[in-house]
Structure 1
């Protein structure tokens, strides 16, 4: 169940989406239909149409009913030119939709490297409460993006809402190259546990990623730690 604060934020964002539609569909320079045209232009990468609408007064931070800004929509679809145009109009790079996803998070999730580069250069948040771009890079095995996020200051041990770290997510999903890269960092904690009580190596074993579990346990021994004696049943 959402917390009272989260429920309030969700309600507020829904009201903002409704307000955007009300204002843009009313009389004014942009004309009727501009709201849907702006959203469609962002999704489809129709940069010239969107720039025209922005020039007529469309708010660059217009949101849809799910709280997606024009920038989030463009980034999610990998529309680089549209993202760049929106940034020129000072679209907010840190807004998150109702699901908690930012433009950078969705660009990383989909593997849109150039879009992610532009957003990071524009100051998109790297670290934040909840899910982060690094979690998404690890979950999907986006090694290049993971490296860029870490170089930009991403917190390697940040815990997601389910208490998973980047290492845990990569281990669970079998992304051995990402696991290897994370294990090279001495600051990566090998012993954190998620909300199911599993460490990264145990979660790897649970998903039959025994090679990854072996790597993590070898690194734990190298650091002078003791590997757990428990065994995990592989279904």
Structure 2
């Protein structure tokens, strides 16, 4: 069968052109899609907006979101409850809004087992600590306590407040650590002295046999080493 040389030539030249047109059309389509997406409004998920409001202490925005049906016990992407997040970020106005809602779980914890009172104590946020306690937050929760957290950062005023609300100065964490050990670890001797003056046991040991002085030595806390050694020496005589 004879083929027409002209027809073959036309087909040969049209094929790449057709492929080229298809590529151009595809490129245009992609470009149009990108342009369309770029111009389309982007709406944050409601929970993202609420979490942002908590972080920036936007009490009015958070109050509106909750009034519109958002859960005051919602969590962020890391599983942190809004009230705990507010305590971590020192968003006291938002915390007050959440605590005014009867549905808010004041004892809610993050994945590390930390609640709002613990983080407010760690941060030395006296006003929030007071508000949480008056709203019924547990001062002597099981395991790590708010006093452990206050002692860890040398938050003397918070420690005094917690002790005034009957915080156990010899509270034991799950591994037997006391608030005094945490104060010694951070070389916070004013906090350590406060705890000792309120009955903290200088000789208490954790599960691996370390006492407060051992913590001071382990973490190279010079003031705590000096003062706790002197106290232990006095106690021995």
Is TM more than 0.5 here?
yes
Q: What aligned pairs does 1:110-129 form with structure 2 within 5 A after superposition? A: 110-129=123-142
The unaligned stretches of length 5 or more in structure 1 are: 1-30, 228-235
Q: State yes or no: 1:215 paired with 2:227.
A: yes
Q: What aligned pairs does 1:79-228 form with structure 2 within 5 A after superposition? A: 79-90=91-102, 91-185=104-198, 187-220=199-232, 225-226=235-236
Q: Which range is displaced more, 50-59 or 211-220?
A: 211-220
Give the Å deviation of 1:215.
3.2
User: Counterparts of 1:121 and 1:96 in 2: how far apart (Å)?
Assistant: 19
Q: Which range is displaced more, 60-69 or 206-215?
A: 206-215
Q: Could you say which structure has the higher helix fraction?
A: 2
Give the Å deviation of 1:66.
3.0
Q: State yes or no: 1:45 paired with 2:57.
A: yes
Give per-residue Cα distances to partners, 1:184-214, cap 9 Å, x unaligned: 12x3212111233211122223334354344
User: Counterparts of 1:58 and 1:84 in 2: how far apart (Å)?
Assistant: 16
User: Counterparts of 1:48 and 1:56 in 2: how far apart (Å)?
Assistant: 12
Alpha-carbon distance change, 208 to 62 in structure 1, aligned in 2, over 3 angstroms: closer
User: Counterparts of 2:86 and 2:223 in 1: how far apart (Å)?
Assistant: 38
Do the aligned residues in 2 keep the contact of 1:201 with 1:212 (CA within 8 Å)?
Answer: yes
The unaligned stretches of length 5 or more in structure 2 are: 1-42
User: Counterparts of 1:76 and 1:111 in 2: how far apart (Å)?
Assistant: 11
TM-score scaled to structure 1, two decimals?
0.75
Task: Say which SS state the counterpart of residue 175 (structure 2) adopts.
Answer: coil
Task: Say which SS state the counterpart of residue 236 (structure 2) adopts.
Answer: coil
Q: What aligned pairs does 1:17-36 form with structure 2 within 5 A after superposition? A: 33-36=45-48
TM-score scaled to structure 2, two decimals?
0.75
User: Counterparts of 1:210 and 1:56 in 2: how far apart (Å)?
Assistant: 54
Q: Which has the larger radius of gyration?
A: 2
Task: Say which SS state the counterpart of residue 78 (structure 2) adopts.
Answer: coil
